[in-house]
Structure 1
Amino acid sequence: MEPIASQPVELRHVVAMPWPGRGHINPIMNLCKRLVRRYSNLIVTFVVTEEWLGFIGTDPKPDRIRFATLPNLIPSELVRANDFPGFVDAVHTRLEEPFERLLDRLDSPPPTAIIADTYVLWAVPVGERKNIPVVSFWTMSATILSLFIHSDLLISHGHALFEPSEDEIVDYIPGLSPTKVRDLPPLFDSYNLRVFKKAKLCFDTIPRAKCLLFTTAYELEPKAIDFFTSKLNIPVYATGPLIPFEELSVGNDVTEPDYIKWLDGQPESSVLYISQGSFLSVSEAQMEEIVKGVRESGVRFIWVARGSEKKMKEALKGSSGVVVSWCDQLRVLCHKAVGGFWTHCGFNSTLEGIYSGVPMLAFPLFWDQILNAKMIVEEWRVGMRIERRKKTELLIVRDEIKEVVKRLMDRESEEGKEIRTRVCDLSEICRGAVEGSGLSNANIDAFVRDISNMN
């Protein structure tokens, strides 16, 4: 199916309501950009808090995407980690009324659909009251959504309420291949359970949505997506990878950043890109081991050190790399000099790594990252784990880090060649999905037709 940008559609005005967090806002914005570029008469109202408008309001976007704001009634992004369950509560209880009032003010033209993050608990009920179709938008893997929905099976099989053997196998979750217990997030420990109970309320609203959108590519998770297609009585579409690949082809009129100039001077596939995400961090002792391990490996690197650039530069002085406070991640990953990606395994980063064809070092910290790491290493076979050799150790020590970094970056080893071949194959599949008549584009067109017919 070819793009149909010149054809009119009934879907005239989409309201996008992301969960207020970077890993949720980015993919729904990427979807909105693809929609307005594909449909010439479509406008999008992108709803964020006033604080988030300050973060992203000047980012480049098509003119037909306009921002609307909700008041800052929830804890700041800068402190939400201090009480994440309280943050979830605030989003679930304080933003519904202002969002509904905002919808009443949008009348040129009136909204014809709402695309809302699945975690926005009140989106479907608001849409029902306003008679506006609501699309549920899931930003993590399809596989982990199946795990979340079937969490009761973990309890009935004895894999939730006590400390099971790490090597016990979970082989009864639809769409999830046999997986060791240690490769699943600990949903039922006291802290995570508080958040998970709130999340489960959101999953109950999915069948009441008009369709379910995934940010993944169908080819990456066919079993999980097929499960949801067969289980739900609503259309299910894989629209990914929903990453900012279209920005890669946009001309750059400004001077190249220094980190790109540095990459331009490095040999092909010689640089390890290191990112540990923007929300979670490791202990100071563990970070010290990581720094020394990377330094002693002798591998070239570009390290994104959000909030600690000065300290990291001092610690890595005289080493074979550069430290930056921020970079255009997808552009860096697609640079020919980059040959490895140290990642926390957030799903957006995972998709960017695969799209770029770059082998990954999996270092998950929390929640869905744990299962994503397993998929990277065992399902897709496009990376290696960074892990302790001795389970009794509290830290992954520098020698272990040095060894795995050198293994990943060794282009001559059989292991390295197999991983590179596999990730390049998946890269081609993902790129094909979002080009021309690829499946992702076909799914976006089918989704738009579905919603248009409801109006």
Structure 2
Amino acid sequence: MENQGRNRKRLVLVPGPFQGHLTPMLQLATILKSKDFSITIAHTQFNSPDSSAHPDFTFLCIPDGLSEEEVRNPDLIAVVLRLNVNCESSFRECLTRGTNRMEPGDKICCIIYDALVYFSEAVARDLKIPSVVLHTISAATTIVRPILLQLKTQGHIPIPDSMLQVPVPLHQPLRFKDLPLSNFGSLDYFLEVVALTYNLRSSLAIIFNTIYCLEESPLAQLHQRYQVPIFPVGPLHKLAPTSAVSLLQEDTGCIPWLDKQTHNSVIYVSLGSVAHLNQDQLSEMAWGLANSKEPFLWVIRPGSIPGSEWIESMDEEFKECVKDRGCIVKWAPQKKVLAHEAVGGFWSHCGWNSTLESICAGVPLICQPCFGDQKVNARYLTHEWRVGLELEGEIERGTVERAIRTLMKEKEGEEMRQRVFDLKHKFDVSTGDGGSSCHYLSKLVELLTSL
């Protein structure tokens, strides 16, 4: 396989080491492999992907120098900063000396890197290798995030309560409370990452896992700001053949359970791969689901409830109440779940991958953003595209029950279901032959081939 690859142009792809970043980068790698490029995935030791699931790729492990204590650090922003400091020299050495089946002199035509691992651009610039950056968040988040630096300079961050509901100038429908601030660790560290992530110095182009018809305006603004080609080639999961990218073990046993449910009857609940719940939030979510009387599939990650291994702390009365119409799993094959005809709604954290997957499946959402870009996505889902209901404030069982019934049983929910179905159709057209995503993908391949 590798000998055949020597006759092709080699791309080195550097994913960010979190599920929401690994998934789209590996999907992009799969697409570019199908376009006859030879693919190397250069990844950190921290949260490294499963190389056996991708036998057509070469995997290059970058020593990241993280201690056990740093790996366990809940301050993910501090981890990102440390990775970028530690990995620059080791990545440069990997590319110049050749390790992990990368031969010395093996010609690399381009480095495609996640914006989160910005050390890659510095190495590419030093080695005079062309680079392209992949943003795994929406164009809307990307265009608004630099505002955070201005607000900090003006003394408006942390955002005062009096400004939370105020619209952000030139960025409707966002309010100041929707700005993509992180909940993890130091605010100064987070703003440092923002500044470094958006300091595009030498990269030739920007790739977005988005779709032109969904984000035409922010994409145009970004092109004006950066003056480089921009390629909205998403949703990447629609263009890439199925490939295993999950860091967590998927429980496919929920699919036979879904097979027994009626059409559009199930609310699917998953708050992503990072968020945590305290006991009060868990209880309010649980009883809101129980009181709604609707069947549900609920993903609760092991370790996501502080003080519990999994759901042993959950109310036994709740478990008994919902045993015939609830299914709780540790992790689900999400794209299969959303595509299942029994699923009629998605209670989501509104990460960008989940947002795109839900729209692609024609499933409306209940939006519970936890931090960062999720807040921007939730606001667009509820007030721009109007295919979701947002849960605001503290989670309370009565609010949860009403939201589920609105989405699953009432006219408002049916109208959202029709709007998301219309968006799904636009996505299908855009990712089909002659559609915008295929057009931009062809242009990207032309650029990479020319290097």
* TM-score, normalisation: structure 2: 0.87
Q: d(CA) in 1 for partners of 2:169 and 2:65?
A: 42
Structure 1 position 361 matched with structure 2 position 366:
yes
> C-alpha offsets along residues 232-282 of structure 1, whole Å, 9 cap, x if unaligned?
2211110111226644699xxxxx932111111111000011001121212
The aligned residue for residue 405 of structure 2 is 406
> Which of 99, 121, 126 is matched with 1:124 structurally?
121
- Are residues 155 and 326 of structure 1, via their aligned partners in 2, closer, same or farther at CA, if it must alter by over 3 Å? closer
Q: Distance in 1 between matches of 2:243 and 2:257?
A: 20
Identity of aligned residues (%): 29
CA displacement at 1:397 relative to structure 2: 1.4
Question: Are residues 1:370 and 2:375 paired?
Answer: yes
Check the 8 A contact 2:408/2:414 in 1, yes or no.
no
1:18 aligns with 2:15: yes
Of the structure 1 ranges 327-336 and 159-168, higher mean CA displacement relative to structure 2 is found in 159-168
Partner Cα separation in structure 2 for residue 73 and residue 217 of structure 1: 37
Instruction: Trace 1:196-211 onto structure 2 (pairs within 5 A).
Output: 196-204=191-199, 206-211=200-205
Deviations 1:267-324 (A, max 9, x none): 1000011001121212221111111111111111111111054435955344111111
Once the two structures are TM-superposed, the CA of residue 228 in structure 1 deviates from its matched residue by 1.3
| 1:291 has 2:286 as partner | yes
Tell me the distance in 2 between the aligned counterparts of 1:429 and 1:101.
45
Q: 2:111 aligns with which of 104, 111, 114?
A: 114
Q: 1:235 aligns with which of 226, 229, 249?
A: 229
Match of 1:391 in 2: none
Deviates most, 287-296 or 145-154: 145-154
Task: Please list the CA deviations of residues 200-235 of structure 1 after superposition, one character each: whole Å capped at 9, or x if unmatched.
Answer: 12211x242010011111111111101112222211
Q: Distance in 1 between matches of 2:124 and 2:14?
A: 12
Is residue 416 of structure 1 aligned with residue 419 of structure 2? no
Distance of 2:41 and 2:68 partners within structure 1: 19
Match status 1:56 vs 2:44:
no
Query: Taking structure 1 as reference, are residues 11 and 424 closer, same or farther at Cα in structure 2, changes over 3 Å only?
Result: farther
Alpha-carbon spacing, 1:362–1:148, altered in 2? closer, same or farther (3 Å): same
Q: Which residue of structure 2 lines up, in the alignment, with residue 30 of structure 1? A: 27
Distance of 1:170 and 1:396 partners within structure 2: 25
User: Which AA in structure 1 matches 2:30?
Assistant: K
Q: Distance in 2 between matches of 1:439 and 1:153?
A: 34
| Structure 1 Cα separation of the partners of residues 364 and 413 of structure 2 | 9
What is the deviation of 1:65? 1.8
- Alignment of 1:169 with 2:135, yes or no, is no
Structure 2 distance, partners of 1:186, 1:263, is 36
Matched, 1:214 2:212: no
Q: 2:360–2:427: 8 Å Cα contact kept in structure 1?
A: yes
> Which of 57, 63, 75 is the aligned partner of 1:83?
75
Q: Deviations over 1:416-455 (max 9, x none)?
A: 12101110111111222222222112111101212322x2
**Contact persistence 2:252–2:333 (CA under 8 A):** no
Q: Indicate conservation of the 8 Å contact 1:75/1:87, yes or no.
A: no
**Structure 1 gaps, min length 5:** 1-7, 251-255, 389-394
Residues 196, 280 of structure 1: alpha-carbon distance in 2 compared, 3 angstrom cutoff: same
Following superposition, the deviation at residue 162 of structure 1 comes to: 5.2
The alpha-carbon deviation at position 343 of structure 1 amounts to 0.5
* Aligned equivalents of 2:415, 2:154: Cα separation in 1: 36
TM-score (norm 1): 0.86
